[in-house]
Amino acid sequence: MLGLKAHNLGIVLITHRLDEVEAIADRVVVMRNGRVVHRMDSPKGRRGEIVRNMIGRDLSTVPRRAPETTKPPGEVVLDIRNLTVEDPDVPGKMVVDGLNLTLRAGEIHGLYGLVGAGRTEAARAIFGDWRGEVRGEVRLLGRDHRPRDPREAIRMGVTLLTEDRKATGILPGHSLGTNLSAASLGAVSRRGLISDGEEHERNIAMMRKLDVRPCDTTYRIENLNGGNQQKVLFGAG
């Protein structure tokens, strides 16, 4: 880009990466919730000012960790023992080998690993979205959990927020309403017929709860930014 700039080309760079902004940009415009909230020349050394305007408050007021709590542990929601997931294309090759995990109500459990470490495969197996053999014990709310497909997993109360929302998450070319309802049509259907009014009310309530912008069920999902697309997927789950 700097080479193009040297040839007198004007460039609009859209990015969240502040190191790129400081290294490349001559001027900066900060937007939040669809509005321009700040403009500046020469952004070098002014990262704090940019962040403050991006999030709407001073970074020092954002807690670095969740506050300590004395709340007692919740009941066990998901209990996984010795989960083994086999590669469907390479018999005998395990992509997950002996995973043990306990998730309690009111808890966020992080699962870390490099690409290929088995995180995605484990999640897909729990969601019933895996072609290979799955062994081990998985219990959901004390009951055996072996969904045959994602539809059955959803009925059991399990959903999956895909790591690649564009490829396997959103329904491009469709409205926010369609994307919100696609996985839960049974909740707005009676005897196989969808109640348009009930579907609309349910979707609007969810969009307001998650602060999806714009709050318009007819808006096409590919026109949303990444954060709002993720909110829609969360609401659909």
Contact 165, 230 (CB under 8 A): yes
Average pLDDT, the chain: 91
Q: Which strands, in side-by-side order, build the sheet including 143-144? A: 94-104, 76-86, 134-140, 143-144
Whether 67 shows a pLDDT value over 70: the answer reads no
Whether 63 shows a pLDDT value over 70: the answer reads no
More confident residue, 215 or 186: 215
Taking Cα atoms as reference points, which of 20, 17, 22, 57 lies closest to residue 37? 57
Identify the helix (H) or strand (E) that includes residue 3: helix 2-6
Whether 58 shows a pLDDT value over 80: the answer reads no
- Residues 71-102: tens digit of each pLDDT: 788 999 999 999 999 999 999 999 999 999 99
- Residues 107-160: tens digit of each pLDDT: 999 998 888 899 999 999 999 999 999 999 999 999 999 999 998 999 999 999
Give 160-191 as a DSSP string.
---S-HHHHT--TTSBHHHHHHTT-GGGGEET
Identify the helix (H) or strand (E) that includes residue 5: helix 2-6
